[in-house]
């Protein structure tokens, strides 16, 4: 099988943490040819998409020995078995255009996650379809609405930009803080942009759970615990990672979301759960698979690649039958 991965520069990945690296390495060990390319390596025309890709050979070694990158090859991506879209947020114009280009491959090759699903699923806004399993939440650009909501939920909440990732721009919003209005102004760009505001969940001090799903089924979970001087638990801002189990509440959230995720072609997904409440749905480049693997010994990378093998074969068979 041939797998192409659209991702950020491979030279900068963390060998022991990066999920894209782990998936590519496992695909390689299972005998598949792996290609690496970026957004700007795509060329569309004549009803198909070409990739100026490089075959890559990976090793769990310190950079730069972790990736041996071959020469550029011009490849018809419709002939590739599977394409993984794994660039990090934010979801900007370039990302949008990439999903639209990859749409041309529908029915001819497997794209994970589905380009339509990626366009529909803002990682903050997608979650509000499931308000029954979320903390109390609003989305607004208006300071008055946000202030009223904060009063309603007891005077303290969390405000998040809709295009942030890795904890960037996430701030505690406390009515007693003299910077309360300034924080709202900064987050909403003085009323010009939407922000998400959620009630503050004290359970975040025990950790923010990342649940990895494959085709609606749990692969495992990790717990990201914030530093004592931080409200955010993201690994990027110093959160530590601990093993954890899935609770009945967690499994109920998975069951609630799974049918919609499958319908939207969002096959490899990370749910963020705090105290049994869904806070975000990560679909662009969910992380945590290496930590799940270390804590559980369950080899989730193999499960992902073997699922891709099966699904890609189905797509190719359907294409041949048409």
Q: Is 224 annotated in the active site?
A: yes
State the catalytic residue, choosing from 113, 122, 234, 282.
282
Q: How many CB atoms lie within 10 A of CB 108?
A: 19
Show me where the domains of the chain are located: 2-113+302-321, 136-200, 203-282
Q: What is the mean pLDDT of residues 242-263?
A: 97
Answer yes or no: are the C-beta atoms of 211 and 254 closer than 8 Å.
Answer: yes
State the catalytic residue, choosing from 272, 291, 301, 309.
272
State the catalytic residue, choosing from 108, 232, 277, 291.
232
> What is the spatial distance between Cα 319 and Cα 49, in angstroms, rounded to a whole number?
16
Phi, psi at 175, each rounded to 5°: -60, -25
- Of 72-81, 217-226, 237-246, the poorest mean pLDDT is in 237-246
Return the pLDDT at 12.
Answer: 86
Q: What is the mean pLDDT of residues 263-275?
A: 97
Question: 34 - beta bridge partners?
Answer: 3
Tell me how many degrees the CA angle 27-87-312 measures, rounded to the nearest 5: 40
State the catalytic residue, choosing from 224, 234, 264, 291.
224
Q: Is 282 annotated in the active site?
A: yes
State the catalytic residue, choosing from 210, 234, 250, 291.
210
Q: Is 181 annotated in the active site?
A: no
Q: Under CATH, which number does the domain 203-282 receive?
A: 3.30.470.20
The radius of gyration of the chain from alpha carbons, rounded to an integer in Å, stands at: 20
Residues 6 or more apart from 317 whose CB is under 8 A from it?
none
Fold held by 2-113+302-321: Rossmann fold (3.40.50)
Sign, CA torsion 168/169/174/177 = positive
- Give the helix/strand (H/E) hosting 46: none
DSSP string, 115-170: HHHHHH--TTGGGGGGGGGS-SEEEES-HHHHHHHHHHTTSEEEEEETT--TTTT-
State the catalytic residue, choosing from 199, 280, 301, 309.
280
Give the predicted TM-score (pTM) of the model: 0.94
| pLDDT tens profile 183-234 | 999 999 999 999 999 999 999 989 999 999 999 999 999 999 987 776 666 6
> What is the spatial distance between Cα 276 and Cα 268, in angstroms, rounded to a whole number?
21
Fold held by 136-200: Dna Ligase; domain 1 (3.30.1490)
Q: What percent of the chain has pLDDT over 70?
A: 97
Q: Is 294 annotated in the active site?
A: no
């Amino acid at each position: 099988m041939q797998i192409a991965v659209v991702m950020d520069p491979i030279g900068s990945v963390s060998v022991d943490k990066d999920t894209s690296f782990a998936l590519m390495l496992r695909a390689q060990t299972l005998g598949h040819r792996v290609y690496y390319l970026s957004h700007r390596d795509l060329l569309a025309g004549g009803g198909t998409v070409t990739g100026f890709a490089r075959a890559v050979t990976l090793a769990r070694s310190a950079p730069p020995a972790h990736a041996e990158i071959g020469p550029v090859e011009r490849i018809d991506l419709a002939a590739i078995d599977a394409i993984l879209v794994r660039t990090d947020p934010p979801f900007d114009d370039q990302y949008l255009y990439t999903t639209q280009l990859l749409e041309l491959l529908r029915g001819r090759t497997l794209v994970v996650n589905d380009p339509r699903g990626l366009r529909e699923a803002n990682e903050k806004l997608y979650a509000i379809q499931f308000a029954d399993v979320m903390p109390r939440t609003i989305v607004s650009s208006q300071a008055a609405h946000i202030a009223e909501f904060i009063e309603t939920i007891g005077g303290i909440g969390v405000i998040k930009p809709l295009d942030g990732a890795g904890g960037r721009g996430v701030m505690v919003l406390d009515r007693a803080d003299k910077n309360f209005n300034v924080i709202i102004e900064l987050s909403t760009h003085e009323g010009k942009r939407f922000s998400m505001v959620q009630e503050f969940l004290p359970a975040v001090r025990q950790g923010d759970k990342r649940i990895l799903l494959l085709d609606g089924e749990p692969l495992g979970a990790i717990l990201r615990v914030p530093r004592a001087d931080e409200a955010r638990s993201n690994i990027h801002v110093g959160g530590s990672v601990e093993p954890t189990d899935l609770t009945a509440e967690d499994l109920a959230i998975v069951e609630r979301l799974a049918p919609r995720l499958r319908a939207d072609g969002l096959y490899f997904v990370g749910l963020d759960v705090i105290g049994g409440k869904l806070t975000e749905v990560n679909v662009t480049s969910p992380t945590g698979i290496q930590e799940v693997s270390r804590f559980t010994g369950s080899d989730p990378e193999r499960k992902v690649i073997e699922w891709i093998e099966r699904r890609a074969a189905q797509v190719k068979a359907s294409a041949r039958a048409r």
